[in-house]
A and B are shown apart, each in its own frame.
Chain A
Amino acid sequence: MKYLSIVAGLAWTAFTVMPATAADPMRFGLCYDLTKVYTFVTPQVAQAAKDYAELLNMKGGIEGHPVEMIVQDHGNEPQRGIECYEKLKRDGVMVFDMLSTPVSRAVLPRVMKDGNVLIQSLAGRGDAVDGDVFKWVFPVGPTYWGQAANDIEYIKQQSGGQLKGVKIAFLYVDYPFGQEPIGILKTLAAKEGFDLQLFPYPLPGNDQASAWTQIRRFAPNWIVSWSLSNMHVIASREMKRNGIALDKYIAVNWMNEIDIGNIGAEAAKGIKRGTNVAGGSNHPLIQEIIKELYDKGKGSGDRKNLEDVYYNTGLAIWSIAVEGARLAIKKDGWPLTPDKIKAGLESIKDYNANGMMAPVTVTAQDHGGGGKTRIEMWDGSKWVPQTDWIAAYKDDVLSVVKAQSAEYAKSDSQK
């Protein structure tokens, strides 16, 4: 059996190994769910990645090497995600993103075994920011734990520097995404002495009526909400019905301009969200993309997506990946290997893509880049930042991360 596989392996290598030349493009693999569950975010992210690659190529690529973003649909099915990974891996792609929690989880064992880079921002296991355990996974951006802690920090600032007696409702959709921050919130509640209550509602999130009736009785000072896109619209309707002011509502980063449009731009005034990217299109980078691509009809998609914060999220994810590759080429030269890209990513320092996002500093230990977010408020026409980029309660967040990554390390060592 072993002999057979060696023969097969040799035959395969003989067919495929060709020397890399200087004109070789730097390929990134975007295996996204473009048709099922994550469609509220993937088109914008993929469009941002393609636009960014186009812009880079106009300027000569990464240190002279053109960039190619390969987008493929996996329909949120783990086995198709694996197929996409296996296929692109053999096409010479070394950096992948799945942008889907189930698929990220499914390819993780392969990525760790093969030693390829998995960019896994905002979807997938949060404890992968622990670079000591997850050597090949780079969830650059905030973890949900860090984001929840930053929300609490904001509430603390708003309550005059202390949280004693403050009532915080945590509203969440009852599956792993929504359950994730519960642990850290309980820890912080014990530490800061605020009154925390949990209000789950079931998938698909169209019916939140019972949760909101209970919230009304609880009469919280703040509501932190772990919901996805349209669930925020439902929540805002329930808030209106229950007579709760919208400006108490702090959403997780998954709330965009489309949701605001569905609530009504005027009616949504005062609603808040945590975010790791600056909202709106008024940044040097997006302005450049508009000028160089969309004004000349060369954009990779619908122009109205540029107003969508998920487009900014996509730009943030892929500008970080590209920056890592750039540093890698600069440091160790072409052709790249996953090892070089890993080293490149781990040397990113205070990078913020021209003010587009929270500055990130990735190290070999911290693959999350610091986990900074800020709170933004919708003022009826645009997002207004309410805080600086903050990363609060770092020790508490780190201990959650460490506890979970240790669990993984333990289960991995039992193999």
Chain B
Amino acid sequence: MLFRQAGIFHTNYAADRALFPIAADRWMIGILLAFGFAAPLLVNSLYLSSYLLPWLIWTAGALGLNLILGWAGQFHLGYAAVMGIGAYATVHATRAGIPWEIAIVLGGSTAAIIGIGFAFAALRVKGLYLALSTLALQFVMDWVISHVPAISGGTQATLQAPDIRLLGQPITSDAGLYYVALVWCILVTSFMLNLRRTALGRALIAVREKDFAAAVIGVNSFYFKLVAFSTSSFIGGVTGAILIGTFYHAVTPEQFSVDVSIQALAMVIVGGLGSIIGSYFGAAFILLMPGAMNSLISWAAIRFGFSLSIETLAHLPQALYGALIIGFLLIEPLGLGKIYNNVRDYLLVWPFGYVKK
């Protein structure tokens, strides 16, 4: 119905290879983009700065993690550490007087270099062992930051981040910061969309499915694993830098602790491995749902007049949130992105459901 395929003829290679061959997809993306760019006018500043902005940044982060986890199939439990490396490198670089545009590239590159250095050691093992050795990256980073005052910014372990300057213009308004995040998120998303139809993307998928089978057909799996690690670390590093520049305005080790790594992993898994729209859903779910549940429960408590103790009121949303994650993964183990795809697949051929079979 909505996603009508009738009348779409691929008469040349470009049309055949289009990212979105179906008109409805293009419309939806157009509307979402228009909303994204108009958001500062449509949405009040609380929602803009406290929900939309972090959501976009974390989506970019989740996409970066999805590259290594969903595309290349390599576990990574230290993604927050990678983001932290990028953030610290960028903040130190800007404080040393390097323009922010160059500093984030430096931050991303530092993260990529450390990420790849770690990958050299880590990739000698596979699966759960790899997961544990990436977890080591997280703990090594935590320890280094809290024990090297030159990195952490003294005993208080907080480093004030200079304001973002683009082409010398300081960006301080909510709308300005939002656009920085939006542009980065769009960049990462289009990179990931296009990755699927490049040789690199196909090689990564081959490695994910079976690395020695990939080697048999001539894909150097070790090389592509390293590429995946460094690319995803670069995205992570820049995302970390943008998170600090637009949202936290100061960098501390706790912002990139092991809990945050687990959260990023949860975003990817709840959203769906290898799914781009799933990363958007996953980031929204993990990031915004606890707050939303909190408001819902407090609202319900006032509306229906049941009085709960402070602690129950705080724990109830957590329990509900946990139940929701379990519920969604029970309904669709492949994540929220897959739920969206199921709906889309159904509508694709509606009302002729038998076509699917």
A78→B173 contact, CB < 8 A: no
**Nearest CB of A to B139, in Å:** 11
B122 touches A (CB below 8 Å): no
**Nearest CB of A to B84, in Å:** 13
B157 touches A (CB below 8 Å): yes
Which of A46, A102, A113 touches B254 (beta carbons < 8 Å)? A102
A110→B249 contact, CB < 8 A: yes
Interface membership of chain A positions 1-24, coded 1 if the CB is closer than 8 angstroms to chain B and 0 otherwise:
110110111011001000000000
The residue on A at minimum CB distance from B249 is: A109
A7–B163 alpha-carbon span in the complex (Å): 22
B310→A301 contact, CB < 8 A: yes
Q: How many residues of B contact A (CB 8 A)?
A: 50
A8→B252 contact, CB < 8 A: no
B45→A9 contact, CB < 8 A: yes
B254→A1 contact, CB < 8 A: no
A1→B50 contact, CB < 8 A: no
B249→A50 contact, CB < 8 A: no
Asked, given contacts A2-B176, A125-B158, whether A301 binds B309 with beta carbons under 8 Å apart, the answer is yes
**Nearest CB of B to A32, in Å:** 8
**Nearest CB of B to A37, in Å:** 10
Q: Which residues of A contact B315 (CB under 8 A)?
A: 34-35
A46→B46 contact, CB < 8 A: no
B232 touches A (CB below 8 Å): no
Interface membership of chain B positions 304-323, coded 1 if the CB is closer than 8 angstroms to chain A and 0 otherwise:
00000111011101100000
Q: Which residues of A contact B287 (CB under 8 A)?
A: 79
Q: CB within 8 Å of B: which of A54-74?
A: 71-73
Q: Which residues of B contact A126 (CB under 8 A)?
A: 156
A293 touches B (CB below 8 Å): no
Which of A73, A83, A404 touches B154 (beta carbons < 8 Å)? A404
B277 touches A (CB below 8 Å): no
**Nearest CB of A to B169, in Å:** 9
**Nearest CB of A to B308, in Å:** 11
Q: Which residues of A contact B154 (CB under 8 A)?
A: 404, 407
**Nearest CB of A to B188, in Å:** 19
Stretch touching chain B among A175-183, A324-332, A367-375:
A175-183
B175→A183 contact, CB < 8 A: no
A contact patch SS: helix
A75–B171 alpha-carbon span in the complex (Å): 30
Asked, given contacts A86-B50, A109-B160, A411-B160, whether A43 binds B290 with beta carbons under 8 Å apart, the answer is no
**Nearest CB of B to A128, in Å:** 9
A231 touches B (CB below 8 Å): no
Q: Which residues of A contact B198 (CB under 8 A)?
A: none
The residue on B at minimum CB distance from A72 is: B294
Q: Which residues of B contact A2 (CB under 8 A)?
A: 173, 176
A46→B310 contact, CB < 8 A: yes
B248 touches A (CB below 8 Å): yes
A105→B50 contact, CB < 8 A: no
A315–B161 alpha-carbon span in the complex (Å): 35
Ranked 10 nearest A-B pairs via Cβ = A34-B314, A5-B173, A102-B254, A5-B175, A73-B314, A109-B249, A86-B50, A411-B160, A83-B50, A4-B175
Could you list which residues of chain A lie within 8 angstroms of chain B, going by C-beta atoms?
A: 1-2, 4-5, 7-9, 11-12, 15, 34-35, 39, 43, 46-47, 50, 71-73, 75, 77-80, 82-83, 86-87, 90, 101-102, 105-106, 108-110, 113, 125-127, 175-176, 179-180, 183, 300-302, 404, 407-408, 411-412, 414-415
- 12 A–B pairs (Cβ distance < 8 Å), ordered by A: A4-B40, A8-B44, A12-B44, A39-B311, A50-B310, A78-B248, A78-B254, A79-B287, A82-B247, A175-B146, A404-B154, A414-B160
